[in-house]
Amino acid sequence: MKFMTPSRRLVVAAALATMAMPTLAATATSTFQVNGTVVATCSVSATALNFGASIPTPVNSNIDATSTITATCSNSVPFSVALNAGNGVGATVITRKMSSGPNVVNYAMYTDAGRTNVWGDGTPGSSVNTLTGTGAAQAIPVYGRIPTGQTPAIGIYSDTILVTLTF
């Protein structure tokens, strides 16, 4: 094997090349399922309903204010928002009461800007606000009113309202 002719070298190179080539592997396939469940979730928060420091004595015209409830519910989840009567002694969802010691100022909350639909817990004379979740935060306005015809004593008045979101 001193010297190989060019044709012989070609034959040897071809033989070596075929021996060095790996054998192609066979393949097999399968599939698997991918799944998950989107569960209905909701959260709620609210800003203060602040009538300010301009409540006159006597209250000779309606005093209006607004606040916002923010609800975040899963997309397409129906939900309702109810408001309780608050902590004022003798308060109802129709006539809520802010207190300053033994003194009270009556007020109401509504679902509409015209202040015709009392926002409560669904008991007679009140309604809840019903919506459908979008997956994003939804701002829901609260329309408050201190009605005319009251003669409150000087003081700082307050109340606490419980917001209940049901889904």
Say if 125 falls within a structural domain. yes
Say if 55 falls within a structural domain. yes
| Predicted local distance difference test score (pLDDT) of residue 83 | 98
- In sequence order, the β-bridge partners of residue 105 are 98
Answer yes or no: pTM beyond 0.85: no
- Structural domain harbouring 118: 51-68+80-129+142-150+160-166
67 pLDDT more than 70: yes
Q: Region 68-92: what's the mean pLDDT? A: 97
20 pLDDT more than 60: no
Q: Region 23-39: what's the mean pLDDT? A: 93
| Predicted local distance difference test score (pLDDT) of residue 54 | 78
97 pLDDT more than 80: yes
Say if 21 falls within a structural domain. no
Say if 8 falls within a structural domain. no
Say if 88 falls within a structural domain. yes
Number of structural domains in the chain: 1
